[in-house]
Amino acid sequence: MVDYNIKFDCNCCYLLGFYWGKDSKGNVKRMREPKSMDECVYFTKRKDSESFAKVWVFKGQCPECKIGLMGKPRDSKTGRAKIRSNDYVCPECNYIAEKSKYEETLTASIQYECKCGNKSGIEVPFKRKKVMRFDEEDQKKRSVDALVFNCSKCDQRFLITKKMK
């Protein structure tokens, strides 16, 4: 006899390739991790002294044909994606979408561990906001683009900034 009323903790679900998290409206749902980077528009792992965050954004469906997954255009000679392109292209119907408009329709899945000990997941819209952050090199406050979310337990603010060069 199999008992289907088993409750999984976060660590067990993580080993199975998924975990429980909350979407932007606070509803509990099962979140899937990417199996390869080809599934993602964006992926990063960030760690500081007290907290950890892993963020990924899956590619979205084409709004025209609803079949293909939108991605960066490919170079005809090498077949590699043109990473600096400002457009996204559907490989099935060749529909072209502007980068800023397309990325606003996507959802970022975030798995994080806060300094308060809370391990959780959340889904937020993939929109970067301008925030002020202290730059330790220049000893000044700088405005940077960041994906912003709060811990569900202690309400600490997390900033996932773009990598600066």
pLDDT-derived band at 15 (thresholds 50, 70, 90) equals very low
pLDDT-derived band at 26 (thresholds 50, 70, 90) equals low
The mean per-residue pLDDT over the stretch 43-51 comes to: 88
Which residues pair with residue 97 across a beta bridge? 88
| pLDDT tens digits, one per residue of 93-151 | 889 999 888 988 999 999 999 898 888 888 899 988 898 888 778 888 888 888 999 98
Give how far Cα 97 sits from Cα of 1, 24, 73, 127, Å. 52, 25, 11, 16
Share of the chain above pLDDT 70, in %: 81
pLDDT surpassing 80 at residue 4: no
pLDDT at residue number 132: 87
pLDDT surpassing 90 at residue 56: yes
Q: What is the pTM of this model?
A: 0.75
- Which amino acid would we find at residue 55? V
pLDDT-derived band at 49 (thresholds 50, 70, 90) equals confident
pLDDT at residue number 29: 63
pLDDT at residue number 2: 40
pLDDT at residue number 11: 40
Residue 12 host element (H or E)? helix 10-15
Tokens of 107: 């959802």
